[in-house]
């Protein structure tokens, strides 16, 4: 793994990790975080609406981005870009799809406001907080682009977008800060996996 990639990952991750650190050190517990933002949402309808738009449309935006990339690569015969997008789609399906939902189901952590008790294997949406699927998915979409482009401004922009999405999940009361942290971690694994596989000789024709 190139040192450059690690530097971009650190820059990309910094905004979200700073937000999470502020919440962890600024409140006595994650329950206090949930209570604070519950009251804040009630008093700030406009901000709540904005955060809902962020959380609802962040990932669909990248469905469009990668659909355009896939179509463009196919029409122009750009095999490297086509390979990158196809590998990323498969990795996202495995990590942001299967792995996230299996982990949520297996752990059964309650979402904020649903009590302290874990209910593994319950299958109830209220018990599927860990990890944050939105955070895992948006990390999986944006990190590979940041690593592939290797431009500091782009990496920083994607990092700010990730922080906004992760914070929106906490603000809206869907996740605890630690859920978002593990979503970022799992998404980072998927993001690196997509880039490494796409750049490797695996499945390439000789």
Span 141-161, average pLDDT: 97
pLDDT bracket for residue 2 (50, 70, 90): low
Q: What single DSSP character describes residue 111?
A: P
**Number of structural domains the chain divides into:** 1
Q: At what angle do helices 133-149 and 152-171 cross, to 10 degrees?
A: 180
In a domain, 140, yes or no: yes
Q: 67 lies in which domain range?
A: 3-199
Would you say residue 204 lies in a domain?
Answer: no
Between CA 106 and CA 111, with CA 108 as vertex, the angle to 5 degrees is 145
pLDDT-based confidence at 200, cuts 50/70/90?
confident
Is residue 205 included in any domain, yes or no?
Answer: no
Residues 14, 6 contacting (CB under 8 angstroms): no
What residues have CB less than 8 Å from 111, skipping those under 6 apart? 125, 126, 127, 128, 129, 173, 174, 175
Q: What is the pLDDT of residues 120-137, one digit of tens each?
A: 999 899 999 999 999 999
Place of tokens 């189901």: 105
Instruction: Specify if 34 maps to a domain.
Output: yes
**How many angstroms from the chain centroid is the CA of residue 73?**
25
Residue 108 lies in a domain: yes
Contact, 197 vs 148, CB < 8 A?
A: no
**206 within some domain:** no
The answer to whether position 147 is within a domain reads: yes
Q: Is residue 83 part of a domain?
A: yes
> What's the pTM?
0.95
Q: Is residue 41 a contact partner of residue 173, using CB atoms and an 8 Å limit?
A: yes
pLDDT digits (tens, 9 = 90+) for 29-54: 999 999 999 999 999 999 999 999 99
Q: How confident is the model at residue 4 (pLDDT cuts 50, 70, 90)?
A: confident
């Amino acid at each position: 793994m190139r040192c450059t990639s690690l530097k971009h990952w650190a820059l990309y991750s910094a905004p979200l990790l700073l937000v999470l650190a502020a919440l962890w050190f600024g409140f006595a517990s994650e329950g206090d975080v949930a209570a604070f933002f519950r009251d804040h949402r009630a008093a700030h309808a406009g901000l709540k609406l904005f955060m809902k738009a962020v959380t609802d449309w962040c990932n669909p935006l990248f469905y469009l981005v990668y659909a355009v990339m896939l179509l463009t690569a196919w029409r122009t015969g750009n095999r490297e870009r086509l390979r990158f997008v196809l590998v990323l789609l498969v990795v996202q399906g495995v990590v942001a799809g299967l792995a996230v939902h299996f982990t949520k189901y297996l752990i059964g952590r309650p979402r904020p406001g649903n009590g302290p008790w874990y209910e593994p294997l319950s299958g109830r949406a209220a018990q599927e907080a860990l990890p944050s699927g939105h955070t895992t998915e948006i990390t999986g979409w944006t990190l590979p682009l940041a690593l592939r482009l290797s431009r500091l401004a782009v990496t920083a922009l994607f990092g700010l977008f990730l922080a906004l999405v992760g914070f929106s999940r906490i603000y809206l009361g869907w996740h605890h800060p630690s859920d978002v942290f593990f979503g970022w971690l799992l998404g980072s694994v998927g993001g690196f996996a997509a880039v490494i596989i796409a750049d490797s000789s695996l499945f390439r024709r000789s």
